[in-house]
Amino acid sequence: MTMRSEIAEQPEVVQRALATNADVVAGIREELRNRSYDYALIAARGTSDNAARYAKYLWGAHNRIPVALAAPSLFTNYRRPPQLGRSLVVGISQSGQSPDLVTVLAEGRRQGRPTLAITNAPDSPLAAQADLVLDICAGAEHAVAATKTYTAQLLAVAMISTAFDRGTDTADLAPVAGYMEEVLAGEPLVEAAAAEFADLRACAVLGRGYNHSTAFEWALKVQEVTYALAHPYSTADFRHGPIAVVERDFPILAVAPDGPLFRDMLDLLAEVGARRARTLVISNVPAALEAATFGLPLPETMPEWISPMVAIVAAQLFAYHLATVKGLDTNQPRGLSKVTKTI
């Protein structure tokens, strides 16, 4: 299996996970009804941390559940874990092997808090510390850069949202695989965009709201497989200083689906466009695609809350083709390993 084949496998992974986990999520819903919690504390690293950023917006907006991202070093190196109060302690990890994340869930259990693991390894040390486990069902992932495990984590986060909110159902996620297939069908356009950005050495990556996670994951994929410096920002944070770096031909990658924050992104694209920045925009709104140097379309009818699972597919393809144009190995990037264990 290669990075490219694992990108293409994502619609199948989504369909499998939805079919496999519908009853599991129903069981998690029943278990959570019997536990008291006011907020979620999520421990994650790397790509999984970006899935946690999605949870921060999705669970906050859909379920009105505040989400905090844990600082695992407090639990390990400093040995000063905070009081977890009325929290639901969640660990998100592809491998479930990183000792610092395991320690966070173990401390949650020690303090009597409910614990949940979202992982591709249901027999892992992380899962062993969890009261509840959701297997993301991505199957073995061989390329070092995570692709299908990331979108499977996003799907799991969305499925857990249905467990919080009894008014929704996992069936609401049924269109995701079809949306992904539409993006995959547009790969020739993505390949052409990568050729236009073949000289990319540094860039800013912008996204806000639900797609704050997409900006961070897109930046990570570019760094992992192309070795370019990619700095992710929300549009708000970008205006607080970093926008000063923008000059003629400076590369800016942006994800801009329709939604409450679209106007803010469109205004920023106009501002950097006036400085002659070179922009690549992933969007389902014609105005954003037309404002870009190069536009990559998303399905027009896709809800914003679903868009991170779909927009990242275009971003993954871009990173893959950019690395290919540069003549780099996308399956085994230098200095990286599939499982990273941190303390």
Q: Which residues participate in catalysis according to the annotation?
A: 338
The set of residues, in sequence order, having a beta carbon less than 8 Å from that of 65 and lying 6+ positions away, is: 39, 40, 59, 164
- 13 to each of 7, 18, 177, how far by Cα in Å? 10, 9, 8
User: In sequence order, which ranges of 203-306 are alpha helices (DSSP H)?
Assistant: 212-226, 235-239, 262-274, 286-291
The set of residues, in sequence order, having a beta carbon less than 8 Å from that of 218 and lying 6+ positions away, is: 205, 207, 230, 232, 253, 255, 312, 315, 318, 319
**Residues recorded for the chain:** 343
- 210 to each of 113, 215, 239, 257, 288, how far by Cα in Å? 27, 10, 19, 10, 17
Q: Which of 219, 93, 87 is nearest to 156 (CA)?
A: 93
